Amino acid sequence: MFSIAVVEPNKVEIVEIPKPIPGDYDAVVKTEVSFLCNATDRKLIEGHFPGVETYPLLLGHESVGIVESVGKKVISFKPGDRTVGGLLLEPTDPKYASGWGGFSEYILVRDHQAMVNDGVADAEHGWSDLSQIQRVVPKDISAETAALMCTWREVYAGFSDFHLKPGDDIVVFGSGPVGLSFIKFAKNLELGYVASVDILPEKRRKAIEMGADEAFAPDDEKLKNLTQVRGKPLDAVIDAVGKEGIINAALPLIKMAGSVCVYGVIDTPSITVHKHLGPYNFNLFVHQWPTRVQEAAAQEPLCEWIRQGKLNTQNFISAEFPIQKIHEAIETAMTGLAIKTLLRY
C-alpha cells in the first residue's frame, strides 16, 4: 500500500509499505479522506516537532475511512462503519517511524471499549490514550465533516480545559483552523464579546464571517488600547498559535484573575512570561496535548451542531487535492492562507 513519508526534514515522498497487520482489538480501515494539520504536520515536515527526532517517519493524524475487517475481540467497529482517528502507530516496515501515520492507504483503529471490558487497557497490551478518540461516525455525517472532527473535537474540549463559560469576553490570537473554530464555537456556546487577531487581512475577514465581533492586526492601536476602548478588560485571551510573544501581548488585556490560554505545541523548550505586563493575579493555561475523555465526548454535541446548521464544513476547507498530489497540497497549506487542505484517496 502507499503512505506519505517525511524521509528527512523538508523532504516528503509517497512510499510503498506493507499493509498493517491488525491485532485482536484492531480494525483495518481503508482511508477515504484526510486533512493536513497546519501546525503539527508542518513542524514534523520541517523537523522541529518537540520530541520527534527519528526520520523517515509516516505522516498524518486527521483521517477518516471505512472499516474493512475487524479483529476477533473487536466489539465497537464492524465492516462498513466510517471511523475517525485511524493511525499507524507501529508501521509494519521497521524502516519508518510513526508521525502518527494517518496518511496511509490503510490505517488501524483500536477498540478502546473492548480493551477496557477485558481489563487490558494499558500500554503493556498496546493501548494508548489515542484509542479513546478512534470512534464510529454517525451515518449522516460525511467523510469530510468527520475528518474535521479531528480538529473540532479537541477545540471543543479546550473550552473546558480553559474554563470558558457563557458571557465571557475573549480575544483569539490566530485565525487558522483552530482560531476560527474557537471563534465559531464561542458564539455557539454563547460567550460574550469575541474578537480575532491575525496578521493577514484575508484571515481577519474570515474571522468576521465566522462570527467575530471585531478583527485586528497585531499592531492595531485599537487592540493595544482595547481595555480602554471597551471600558473593561477581557476574561480571557486564547493563543491559538503557541508563541511566547502572543502570551505576553495578551497579559495587558485580561482582567484581575483572568486567563491566558495557550492552545498547541510550543516549539521552544522554554518561554519567558513578562508577568509585570498583566494583572497581579492571572491564570496561564497551556494546552499542548488533548484531554482525551473530553475530546471523545465532544463528538456528540458537534454532530448536533452540524445537523442544526450551526457548523458548516465548507467554511473550513480552502483546497482539495488527490493524495497523489501531496506536494502541491503541502505547498498550499504552507502559504498561511489555507484554513484546511483536504486530501482525497
Distances (CA, A) of 112 to 115, 128, 147: 5, 9, 19
**Mean pLDDT score of the chain:** 96
Residue 345: the pLDDT is 97
Q: Which three cell numbers stand for residue 26?
A: 484492531
Of all residues in the chain, the percent with pLDDT exceeding 90 is 93
- pLDDT band at residue 105 under the 50/70/90 scheme: very high
Regarding pTM above 0.85, the answer is yes
pLDDT in tens, 41-62: 999 999 988 889 899 999 999 9
Domain boundaries, the chain: 2-136+312-344, 153-287
Per residue in 125-157, is it b (16+ CB within 10 Å) or e — as a string?
ebbebbbbbbbbbeeebbbbbbbbbbbbbbbbb
pLDDT in tens, 252-292: 999 999 999 999 888 788 999 999 999 999 999 999 888 99
Q: Which fold has domain 153-287?
A: Rossmann fold (3.40.50)
pLDDT, tens digit (0-9, with 9 covering 90-100), for 238-252: 999 999 999 999 999
Assigned fold of 2-136+312-344: Quinone Oxidoreductase; Chain A, domain 1 (3.90.180)
User: Which tens digits make up the pLDDT trace of 327-343?
Assistant: 999 999 998 889 999 99
**302: Cα within 13 Å, side-chain hemisphere:** 28
Residues 5/316, Cβ–Cβ less than 8 Å: no
Q: What is the tens place of the pLDDT at every residue in 199-226?
A: 999 999 999 999 999 999 999 999 999 9
